[in-house]
Structure 1
């Protein structure tokens, strides 16, 4: 079969077939009387083998070695190809996400695009100071999309940079809450913690609803952060976690103050008191826990906890008794 026919049937151009010949990769078995290349069925089969290996990303040199070296083993080469392909796909995915970010910002002109790209470069820096600078001192007239800031927050491990990102997110255009939703579903507890911290600084019913769901998170720190934020917003679903925070610490003082605020609602006053006294009955020997609970009782409005504190003034634990007695005296003085 002559080169033109081979090219037509194989889809490989005559120019490429001549290149294969010059490299010794696929040399036609014969020549016509006129000196034209003539390919045998085995030659054509080898052409298809070459094209098949090219489709895997092998170079022509690697293909020649694979086809001609009987001792050649493909495992190492294929493994290397997999690694390089994964790197290329990663770069393409990064480019795709960057383009989506630019598109979401709805730039009005190329200057907007260039300024946004500058911000992206800053946020992608390996240096925390550079990332923080990109957030706090963005290029002129650049409004960072909420989606971009949320993505950066979920990945940011530096506390100072994360704080700057949360500050910027609270002021950004776009649906910041929806952008953080994926973080709460992450299997990485650090990512979920970052998401809850960011949501705690966002106002609105959507953020409150997502924080309420976080009360069921298996991580104590996440539940505590959600409860402190929700309690400060008057959400009573946070009460059990707030009581648990008083028992376990840290943030017990803040939790106690919030419980005192929520207890101003008569419908919840008795429930909160019952929860606190129930914990006192449970933790009969842990002095540190009983001290925190006693201090929390002092945060209850009015004289709501006065009788309980009077009982605690005679507690077997001297530290608890002295604290309760001092609190009773303070409440008695205030009540007069």
Structure 2
């Protein structure tokens, strides 16, 4: 092949002569020859190298990296490509963050650039190194604070007070916050899912119940326990059903929070009474405990029946629960255990009888006085 002058190479490749001269100056593509008039002359091998340059550039490699790769073909290509891939990943993350911020700012830009600048200033305060500044920004700027910035505070801020301020600010977001929170946090780490359960409970939105029911089954006990707490905050039939399904959770941390939630929500008496016949002793025991916390007189007969349960822990839980149930029927059931052959049951029954008598004495005196 006849050597080509720089103009012909530029025409055939679509590159500018300035680019080819720059490659020459860098030592990336030095023409193999010069004409008598000192024009650059490119051989076939030069054009092959130029094609290789363009291929490597298409991977996003810098010109210096391309030169090193071509000048040392036996070098560690895998390491170079891995490092470059890591750089690309970092740039993608940064670009995604920028994209999210631009979209957030676009929502604030409907009235003009003043609102955009205000939103940027608020965003900077939410990222301020001083916790007090971040705290005030979340509280005072909740109406215009970018959703993504508040979520980031809730997810990662080291200060509990700042996270709580971000939680409150997110509860002031317009309708649709439940779905957006799920998208932003559900697929994150344990801390992100814990934050999601926390803010969903604070929202008190029935639409959050299915999400909290899912988090109640989370592999992280702290997340599941926070979901139970959130379901107790929201209440309703869906929340009760989800909590009842977790009565037999193997983790004591979760069971304790489930019990506390069921003790305070409306509509739990009937499913709890049904649960005292569950095949699992753990479920029967916890159902009895919660019925005691609810102190509903109607649960007395079911709890009295559990005093004959084959499981000792269930019997003990039922006796403890009866101690919190008002009425003579519960009292008689307790008195029936004061001579129990089981020492712990006997001692507890006697203490409960004494407590009920001590409580009843002032009431009787007050009744006589009136």
Name which of structure 1's ranges 299-308 and 204-213 shifts more when overlaid on structure 2. Answer: 299-308
Q: Matched residues in 2 for 1:299 and 1:15: separation?
A: 90
**Are the aligned partners of 2:331 and 2:353 in contact in 1 as well (CA < 8 Å)?**
no
Matched, 1:208 2:214: no
| Aligned-residue offset at 1:43 | 1.3
- SS of 2:312's equivalent in the other structure is coil
Mapping of 1:266-305 within 5 angstroms?
A: 267-268=270-271, 270-271=273-274, 275-276=287-288, 277=303, 281=309, 284=312, 290=316, 294-300=319-325, 305=330
Mapping of 1:33-48 within 5 angstroms?
A: 33-48=36-51
Counterpart residue number, 1:188? 189
- SS of 2:203's equivalent in the other structure is coil
Q: 1:7 aligns with which of 6, 10, 28?
A: 10
| Aligned-residue offset at 1:203 | 2.2
**Are the aligned partners of 1:145 and 1:172 in contact in 2 as well (CA < 8 Å)?**
no
| Aligned-residue offset at 1:149 | 2.8
| Aligned-residue offset at 1:313 | 4.9
Q: Matched residues in 1 for 2:25 and 2:272: separation?
A: 91
Mapping of 1:313-332 within 5 angstroms?
A: 313-314=338-339, 316-317=343-344, 320-326=348-354, 328-329=356-357
Name which of structure 1's ranges 113-122 and 216-225 shifts more when overlaid on structure 2. Answer: 216-225
Give a deviation string over 1:201-230, Cα, whole Å, max 9, x none. Answer: 112320234334444444444444444443
Name which of structure 1's ranges 206-215 and 182-191 shifts more when overlaid on structure 2. Answer: 182-191
Name which of structure 1's ranges 274-283 and 121-130 shifts more when overlaid on structure 2. Answer: 274-283
Distance change >3 Å, CA 18–CA 279, structure 1 → 2: farther
| Aligned-residue offset at 1:163 | 1.4
**Are the aligned partners of 2:181 and 2:196 in contact in 1 as well (CA < 8 Å)?**
yes
Normalised to the residue count of structure 1, the TM-score between the two structures is: 0.76
- SS of 1:28's equivalent in the other structure is coil
Distance change >3 Å, CA 119–CA 239, structure 1 → 2: same
Matched, 1:79 2:82: yes
**How many residues were matched structurally?**
327
- SS of 1:200's equivalent in the other structure is helix
Q: Matched residues in 2 for 1:304 and 1:107: separation?
A: 68
| Aligned-residue offset at 1:198 | 0.9
Name which of structure 1's ranges 185-194 and 168-177 shifts more when overlaid on structure 2. Answer: 185-194
Query: Structure 1, unaligned stretches of length 5 or more?
Result: none
Q: Matched residues in 1 for 2:327 and 2:147: separation?
A: 44
Counterpart residue number, 1:258? 264
Q: Matched residues in 2 for 1:321 and 1:172: separation?
A: 52
Name which of structure 1's ranges 318-327 and 84-93 shifts more when overlaid on structure 2. Answer: 318-327
| Aligned-residue offset at 1:17 | 1.1
Q: Matched residues in 2 for 1:69 and 1:89: separation?
A: 29
Q: Matched residues in 1 for 2:23 and 2:351: separation?
A: 92
Counterpart residue number, 1:95? 98
**Are the aligned partners of 2:198 and 2:230 in contact in 1 as well (CA < 8 Å)?**
no
Normalised to the residue count of structure 2, the TM-score between the two structures is: 0.71
Counterpart residue number, 1:18? 21
Distance change >3 Å, CA 114–CA 280, structure 1 → 2: farther
Mapping of 1:233-244 within 5 angstroms?
A: 233-235=235-237, 236-237=240-241, 238-239=243-244, 241=246
Q: Matched residues in 2 for 1:301 and 1:110: separation?
A: 66
Counterpart residue number, 1:160? 161
Name which of structure 1's ranges 33-42 and 298-307 shifts more when overlaid on structure 2. Answer: 298-307
Distance change >3 Å, CA 102–CA 298, structure 1 → 2: farther
| Aligned-residue offset at 1:143 | 1.8
- SS of 1:38's equivalent in the other structure is strand
